[in-house]
Amino acid sequence: MGKTNGSVARSDALVLFGVTGDLAHKMILPALYAMIKRGSLNVPVIGVASSKWSLEQLRQRAVDGIHQAGGIDDQHALDHLLSLLRYVESDYNDRDTFTAIKKALGSARRPAHYLAIPPSLFATVIQGLGAAGLADHARVIVEKPFGRDLASARELNRIAHSVFPEDSIFRIDHFLGKEAIMNILYFRFANSFLEPIWNRNCVASVQLTLAENFGVKGRGAFYETAGCLRDVIQNHLFQVVALLAMEPSAYRGYGAVHSEKSKVFQAIRPLQPDDLVRGQYAGYREETGVAKRSDVETFCALRLFIDSWRWAGVSWYLRSGKRLAETAAEVLVELKPPPQRLFADSAPATGRTNYLRFRLSPSSAIALAARVKRAGKEFIGDQRELYLLEEQPGEEAPYARLLGDAMAGDGALFTREDAVEAAWAVVDAVLKTHHRAHPYERGSWGPKEAEALIAPDGCWHNPRPEPARA
């Protein structure tokens, strides 16, 4: 397991590897600005990259990213962020790079190292930090994907643990920082009415959809190395499955929650080729960086089973894709129909049974569908949604929340080693052996074969724009 880090003191500097990249520009630098506005950041920020930039160029890049992310509404906070920035031009294979970082850190002794760099460089940088003595009392924040299969995840964990203790490794998935995702955990275990029905006796099936109406946005070369299963489902959607399926933890500490989530992944039956439908949108092969005969999936739908006492026999359906009809993420937990058909119009043939719906993005909401009688003598009705929660103003952006938590040593919203490896074990076989990707039209909901996958339990719930509510 590596070394033990007894310190829970807050990090006194942030070293941002890959500071000139798109992730830093679009997400991380705006998050640092938001943290300063909230009063949660006041430490040096040392940007590290291979670009031959000046500090002034980095500052301009930060201003541009913050402006594009939502605008500048606090000049004092912006000026303070710019004053905290430092820049180190780097070659990650050169020992002098890490000497320069140590010099830029000055008196800081508890840095957090954020690896916003290609996964192929993770091991190089982690080992460089260790060799330079920059890992003592430090933390490392690693962007997904953490490995690209089970073997590479294990090797990366081994390397990380040779330098950092597990409680100093923060595997970041911005999806877990979203308010709507956090609310799944709270909603499940803060309300007593849910527990009696939250099992195989009452739940017919569970669907998760993460849809995007845009394509690979010039990142074709990256997508050729990843694909939808690796890029979205194995991490984002599996994390949501764990929150929906886990048992209540014995205590509130995040270590107990991580243990229960890991048990879910360990209970998921490993996927076989027939559990999976892969798709590719029309025109993907014309994208820059994409092979002319590429079989990489831009859409993936799968059926999985959790072999636990609570969920035995319940089908879980996950799908995600690019160039779909909407950009949205939703969960639909479909309940079984009443055991006796007292009213003719309440049979499943008339539509969906009762369900619980979690809207995760672009807005957040929780809704419960129940049948309500129409006025009159006849016993007929309609299914209506009871809206339980809507978007809350002033939500903290995921990256700002997660960065703040990592620098404070709070691992609640991060992924632990055993969970990472157990999640890869579920998909490992179908990463190598699978059916060919089916073509689908842009603006559709994916290939028709995905409908056949879910047919034994009905049909897909397609997220729609939320109606305006008074």
Angle at 242 between CA 241 and CA 245, to 5 degrees: 80
The set of long-range contacts for 191-200, using a CB threshold of 8 Å and a minimum separation of 24, is 197/335, 198/310, 199/310, 199/311, 200/310, 200/311, 200/312, 200/313, 200/314
Cα separation of 211 and 330, whole Å? Answer: 9
**CB crowding 265-287: b at 16 or more within 10 Å, else e:** bbbbeebeeebbbbbbbeebbeb
Pick the catalytic residue from 236, 258, 434, 461: 236
Q: Is 236 a catalytic residue?
A: yes
H or E stretch covering 183: helix 179-190
Q: What backbone torsions phi and psi does residue 207 show, to the nearest 5 degrees?
A: -120, 140
Report CA torsion sign: 14, 17, 21, 22. negative
CB atoms within 10 A of CB 155: 12
What's the DSSP call for residue 149?
S
Looking at the annotation, which residues are catalytic? 236
